[in-house]
Amino acid sequence: MNQRRLRNIFLNLIRLITLLIAVSIIAFSLISLSPIDPVQAYVGAGAAVSPEQRENIAKIWGLDRSPIEGFISWGGAIIRGDFGTSLIYR
């Protein structure tokens, strides 16, 4: 392979990584800015859940952290191959 082809491959790889990071940030931001309360959506509207139980669910899901902490934790888990626990098929 000549030098020009290697340079193009390297630049395309950098563009791909940049695009993946940008899409991840945008997707995570949209999800965290959603007006829907994930805990309420999970337990249902008519469920009788105590405030302590709601706090425990939020803590388990990492909703008690700042968005930046949550993104770093989520990104690190994705890089390690840990896609989390399925809320449907536990």
Domain boundaries, the chain: 1-35, 39-90
User: In terms of pLDDT, which residue wins out, 46 or 4?
Assistant: 4
Tell me: pLDDT of 17 over 90: yes
Whether 68 and 33 have beta carbons less than 8 Å apart is answered as no
Is 87's pLDDT higher than 70?
no
Q: What is the pTM of this model?
A: 0.70
Confidence of residue 40 (pLDDT cuts 50, 70, 90): confident
* Whole-angstrom distance, CA of residue 73 vs CA of residue 87: 18
Tell me the two tokens of residue 89. Answer: 């098929």
